[in-house]
């Protein structure tokens, strides 16, 4: 076997996010696939970089997002999907190239994510979920 079984601590997941403004709907649109925005003239490309998760990351996130319940001998668990996406983002985000109106680089953190247009924030959250799904 020539490939390492360990996740290199410097391994990254690079994601492209494409953003445009829909004049008809007067709303921002965002996607991870540029083809989805082909009908728009001015499509901006952004890069979001996440840490590649290892098993410890999955365990830490799972502890925060799994809910368990039991009735007698029956045991079940469920995943809090909203919390899962937020925790995944918070634990794995490293950088991005989003800028404010003055051209200043915005901090790559949950506080900034919470201030974004929901469609853009959801595209970012879905991107890391797609690229690095939780393995339980």
d(CA 66, CA 77): 7
pLDDT value of position 68: 80
For the whole prediction, is pTM greater than 0.95? Answer: no
- Distance of CA 100 to CAs 34, 90, 109, 112, Å? 22, 21, 14, 11
Mean pLDDT of 45-63: 93
Domain assignment of residue 1, yes or no = no
**Domain housing 44:** 12-131
Mean pLDDT of the chain: 91
d(CA 118, CA 131): 20
Mean pLDDT of 60-76: 83
Q: Kindly report the CA angle at 125 between 65 and 7, in degrees rounded to 5?
A: 75
Number of domains in the chain: 1
Domain assignment of residue 65, yes or no = yes
Domain assignment of residue 105, yes or no = yes
Pair 132, 50: CB distance under 8 Å: yes
Q: What confidence category does residue 90 fall into, taking pLDDT thresholds of 50, 70 and 90?
A: very high
d(CA 97, CA 63): 30
């Amino acid at each position: 076997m020539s490939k390492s079984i360990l996740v290199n601590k410097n391994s990254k997941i690079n994601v492209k996010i494409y953003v445009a403004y829909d004049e008809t709907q007067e709303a921002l649109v965002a996607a991870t696939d540029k083809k989805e925005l082909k009908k728009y003239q001015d499509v901006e490309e952004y890069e979001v970089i996440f840490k590649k998760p290892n098993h410890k990351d999955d365990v830490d996130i799972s502890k925060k997002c799994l809910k368990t319940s039991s009735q007698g001998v029956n045991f079940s668990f469920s995943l809090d999907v909203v919390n899962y996406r937020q925790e995944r983002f918070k634990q794995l985000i490293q950088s991005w190239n989003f800028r404010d109106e003055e051209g200043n680089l915005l901090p790559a953190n949950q506080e900034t994510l919470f201030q974004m247009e929901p469609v853009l924030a959801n595209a970012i959250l879905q991107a890391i979920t797609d690229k690095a799904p939780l393995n339980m």
